[in-house]
Every structure is written in C-alpha cells, then in structure tokens.
C-alpha cells in the first residue's frame, strides 16, 4: 500500500508552497533542482520542507492539499507549528458584519437611525 504526503515548503522569498506526492524526498529534490522553469518554486529556490502529513488514500491527500492551498498564511503557520487547535480560532469570522455580531450591529443601527 502506498503512502501519500501533503507537504508545505517554505520558499526563499518566505512564501509557502503546498503540494501532494507519494515520494516527498524526490519531490523536494525536484523543487530544489528547478527542473520546470514555469513552476512556482523555480525562482524561489532553495525551498525548505516545513510540514509533512501522510495519508493512506490519495483522495484524502488531494482533498487536504486543496483545503490547505485555500488557507491563509496564519492557518498554514499554525499547522507548521503543530498548533491544530488554533485553526478553529483562525477560522472564525471577525468581521463586524458577522452573524455573531448581528444583535450588536442591529441595535447600533437602530440607535443611529433613531429607532428604539
């Protein structure tokens, strides 16, 4: 049975690259060798492996890779630091228009508009 890996690389420009592979050592070497001049990491070498998570099913690995690619830098740094519990906090909407602030916003809007 193969093992699949989702990995995060820290690039020389401090950006992060997320990928999936079944041979993480070979894949990281390929990133650092710069075999594809069109690849994101080509002009950002050298790269450093900062996160690695293994999966038994390729579908799970691909789904997790896609999820991580959509995350903010702070969320990626949380898992890099093995701080998985911080993901919930980082996922919360902190916008003043959030449903969590509906009661507060509704009251403030009513006062502003002279409605009590």
- What would the pLDDT profile of 60-70 be if each residue is shown by its tens digit? 999 999 999 99
Write down the pTM of the prediction.
Answer: 0.80
Contact 21, 7 (CB under 8 A): yes
At 105, the pLDDT band (50, 70, 90 cuts) reads low
The full set of domain ranges for the chain reads 4-84, 85-116
Of 39 and 106, the one with more pLDDT: 39
DSSP labels for 19-59? Answer: EEES-HHHHHHHHHHT--TTSTTGGG-S-EEEEEEEESSHH
Question: Tokens representing 85?
Answer: 């519990």
- 4-84 has which fold? GIY-YIG endonuclease (3.40.1440)
C-alpha to C-alpha distance for 7 and 52, rounded to whole angstroms: 5
Q: Write the CB contacts of 3 (distance below 8 Å, at least 6 apart in sequence).
A: 22, 54, 55, 56
- Output DSSP code: residue 93: -
User: Side by side, which strands form the sheet with 4-10?
Assistant: 16-21, 4-10, 48-55
């Amino acid at each position: 049975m193969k093992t699949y890996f989702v990995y995060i690389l820290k690039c020389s420009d401090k950006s992060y690259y997320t990928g999936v592979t079944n041979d993480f050592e070979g894949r990281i070497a390929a990133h650092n060798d710069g075999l594809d001049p069109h690849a994101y990491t080509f002009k950002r070498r050298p790269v450093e492996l900062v996160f690695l998570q293994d999966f038994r099913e390729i579908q799970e690995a691909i789904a997790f890779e896609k999820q991580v690619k959509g995350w903010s830098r702070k969320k990626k740094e949380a898992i890099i630091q093995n701080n998985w519990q911080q993901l919930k906090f980082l996922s919360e909407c902190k916008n003043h228009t959030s449903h969590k602030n509906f009661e507060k916003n509704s009251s403030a809007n009513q006062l502003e508009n002279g409605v009590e």
